[in-house]
Every structure is written in structure tokens, then in C-alpha cells.
A and B are shown apart, each in its own frame.
Chain A
Amino acid sequence: APKGRRCPACGLAALAPTTHRDILVALAKQNILSKLRLQDRPNITQPMAKGTLLTALRRMRAQRPDATISSGMPHAGTIPPLHPGMGVQEYEMLSFAESGSSTSHSVRLHFRFTQELSGSTEILQATLYLFWADPGPGGHLVTIRLLQPDPMGLNMTVASETWLEVHRAGWTTLDVGHAVQSLFSQGSQRLTVELDVVEGWRSPLLAGHGDSHWPFVAVQARARTPHHVQRR
């Protein structure tokens, strides 16, 4: 502070307590929203069921050996921190499937990623989680296609195709890092997963195990930082 002037923070002390509090709360709101790159608070129309959220968090944590999650909802201060290097902001995101068109042997799942993250973040890891119902004796072969909108945004193109043999009920994971990175670098937000299954077999969305087995994509990302040039 220039000589004879008060430090910027000293001004707060002179305010009436209620005004003081209102200013601090407004500052806190503004600070959090700007750091999350949000212009306004999100309006939540369909909050996720607690069971679905907990299952997804547990599955995601199970992939990381250093992390744990409690049996109830995590309490304040118990969220394990991420591992930001050199002050870079990191994100973990869970995107739950929206069901699309389906037939007796095919189902489409749509995953929509947040606009604030696309384009300005680097994808470190992205994993698709699917829960399969019991396939019965012998197992079933499933074809999984990742579809992305073409550059014009009119048609869908196949980004990758893979086959999976399901022998028992449970969760399976699939690395979708390249597809999500490609999606983000195009500024696109929507990833479509097409599953071809044996006719009559219950697809992941129709598994009948309730919301806690809803398909999701877990993404780990970090904010892109501009390259620095140092002069000595």
C-alpha cells in the first residue's frame, strides 16, 4: 500500500456487521463461481439418486488405489483431494447416460459433457462403466461403438469399435480417453455409445437392477495452462 494509505483489507473493519457479512458472502459466491468458470449457479432439475451417485463414486475410487470412499454420503472435509501439480486445477467428472433410440438388439446411450470444461481442459483419463445383467450359460458377445458428430455436426461417425465377451453379471470398463479428448478438442459435448447385443438379452439400461447400476463415464481432466517462456 502506498505510504499513508490503508491496506485494501482494512476497509472491511469500518463497515457495519450486517453489511460486512453481506459483502463477504457475495465475495464468496463470486469467487467460487468464477473459479468454476460458471456465470451463474447451475439450476438442478433432476438431482441424481443418492444410490446412483454413491455407486459411481465407489466404482471410480476403486480404480485408484490411494483413494477410499465411506459407506454413507461423504461428509465435509472427507473428500479426498486430487493431486494437482504446480497449482494446476484438476477435475473429476461423472457423466450419466441419457437413453437414446433402441431396438431389441441395439441401444444408444448419450453422454453430455459440460461446456465449461470442453476446449480448455486436457483429458487425463476417461472410462466408460457398464453394468451387465446375467448373460446365462455361455456368455454373450457385445459390440460397442463410440459415435461422434462429424465436423459439420450433421451425421454420426464411428470413432472406434470394440467387442466384449460378457460371461457373468457385473461392471465392465472401457477406456474412452481418446474419444473424449477428440470430442473436447472439437468443442463438442456429446458422446454416443451404441451397443449391439443379442436379441432379447437385457441391455445395461434395462438391467432391472435399479438406478444404482446406471451407465456412466468417469473423466479425469486438468486445466490447460499456457506455455511459459523463461528468460534468464
Chain B
Amino acid sequence: SIDCRGDSRMCCRKEFFVDFKEIGWEDWIIQPEGYHMNYCTGLCPLHVAGIPGLAASFHTAVLNLIKANNADATMDSCCVPTQRRALSLLYYDRDNNIVKTDIPDMIVDACGCT
């Protein structure tokens, strides 16, 4: 996965941090101090399509075959999250109880072209 830098226009992971103090949520969210709301952005030319990590797989072979035989494919490729993880939160609920939970798939760790 590539992190976005400078003038790169290709598919990459853009880091974005939401500070709970800045948005006035620090009174009810005890931990963590913010949310790493990373996202994927950038271009995905057809020749780079294929999820990273599947370089030698059967799926890649099939994808390449489709690309080779179907240059005028009906679908374009998109830059999407390929690896995500949970966000652990410790917070007060409406009844002043303290709740801890892991919300799955909230933090984008890697991006790739579909």
C-alpha cells in the first residue's frame, strides 16, 4: 500500500485524524483521543487493477486474462480500502455507564485498486 505524498495522483492512502477535543467530544469519549479516519483516493488505471498481495494467485491470473481479452471492459477500477482494522472506544453512554467496544473495520490501513 502507498501513502499519499505531494503530487502523486495514483491510488494511495490519505491520513486524516479527527481530534475528539477539537469537535467537543472529549467529554463522552474517554479513550482514544481521536479517530484515524484514513481514506483511499487517487486514480486506478486499468493496468494496475488487482488487489496488492495477490500477485501470484489464481485470481490475478484470471484478472489479467480478462484485461487482456477485454480492453473495452464495461467496468473501471476503483481505489478502495484493502485492509482495515477496528477502532477501540471507551465512552460514556446515555445512562452514564462506561462502555468499551471495538467497532470493526473503522480504520483504513491499506488501499488498492479493485
A residues with a Cβ closer than 8 A to B are: 1-5, 7-10, 12-13, 24-25, 27-29, 31-32, 35-36, 38, 41-48, 53, 56, 73-82, 84, 87, 89-96, 112-117, 189
Residues of A within 8 A of B80 (CB): 7, 9
> Is the contact region of chain A dominated by helix, strand, or loop, or is it mixed?
loop
Taking a contact as CB atoms closer than 8 A, the residue among A3, A31, A73, A95 that contacts B97 in the complex is: A95
Annotate B42-80 by CB proximity to A: 1 below 8 A, 0 otherwise.
011000000000000000000000000000011110111
Query: Nearest-CB distance from B86 to chain A (Å)?
Result: 7
Question: Is A12's CB under 8 angstroms from B41's CB?
Answer: yes
Annotate B70-106 by CB proximity to A: 1 below 8 A, 0 otherwise.
0001111011100000111111111111111111111
Question: Is B104's CB under 8 angstroms from A1's CB?
Answer: no
Residues of B within 8 A of A81 (CB): 86, 88, 102
Query: Nearest-CB distance from B102 to chain A (Å)?
Result: 5
Question: Is B33's CB under 8 angstroms from A114's CB?
Answer: no
Query: Nearest-CB distance from B4 to chain A (Å)?
Result: 10
Taking a contact as CB atoms closer than 8 A, the residue among A3, A13, A24, A77 that contacts B74 in the complex is: A3
Mind listing 10 A-B residue pairs with CB under 8 Å?
A9-B79, A28-B35, A29-B23, A32-B89, A36-B89, A38-B93, A41-B28, A42-B28, A76-B31, A114-B94
Question: Is B27's CB under 8 angstroms from A44's CB?
Answer: yes
Question: Is B88's CB under 8 angstroms from A5's CB?
Answer: no
Taking a contact as CB atoms closer than 8 A, the residue among B27, B31, B93, B100 that contacts A114 in the complex is: B93
Taking a contact as CB atoms closer than 8 A, the residue among A28, A75, A89, A114 that contacts B37 in the complex is: A28
Residues of A within 8 A of B90 (CB): 74, 79
- Say if the beta carbon of B110 comes within 8 Å of chain A: no
Question: Is B27's CB under 8 angstroms from A56's CB?
Answer: no
Question: Is B96's CB under 8 angstroms from A96's CB?
Answer: yes
Question: Is A76's CB under 8 angstroms from B34's CB?
Answer: yes
Residues of A within 8 A of B73 (CB): 3
Question: Is A25's CB under 8 angstroms from B23's CB?
Answer: yes
Kindly state the separation between the CA atoms of A57 and B93 in the bound complex, as whole angstroms.
16
Question: Is A91's CB under 8 angstroms from B31's CB?
Answer: no
> Is the contact region of chain B dominated by helix, strand, or loop, or is it mixed?
strand
Question: Is A93's CB under 8 angstroms from B97's CB?
Answer: yes
Question: Is B74's CB under 8 angstroms from A2's CB?
Answer: yes
Residues of A within 8 A of B97 (CB): 93-96, 112-114
- Say if the beta carbon of B18 comes within 8 Å of chain A: yes
Taking a contact as CB atoms closer than 8 A, the residue among A44, A76, A87, A89 that contacts B32 in the complex is: A76
Question: Is B95's CB under 8 angstroms from A113's CB?
Answer: yes
Query: Nearest-CB distance from A39 to chain B (Å)?
Result: 10
Query: Nearest-CB distance from A33 to chain B (Å)?
Result: 10
Residues of A within 8 A of B86 (CB): 81, 84
Question: Is B102's CB under 8 angstroms from A82's CB?
Answer: yes
Residues of A within 8 A of B18 (CB): 24-25, 28
Kindly state the separation between the CA atoms of A114 and B98 in the bound complex, as whole angstroms.
10
Residues of B within 8 A of A93 (CB): 93, 97-100
The list of the 7 closest CB pairs from A to B, nearest first, reads A76-B32, A7-B78, A114-B93, A94-B98, A92-B100, A35-B103, A28-B18
Taking a contact as CB atoms closer than 8 A, the residue among A4, A32, A45, A77 that contacts B96 in the complex is: A45
Output the nearest chain B residue to A218 by Cβ-Cβ distance.
B98
Question: Is A42's CB under 8 angstroms from B94's CB?
Answer: yes
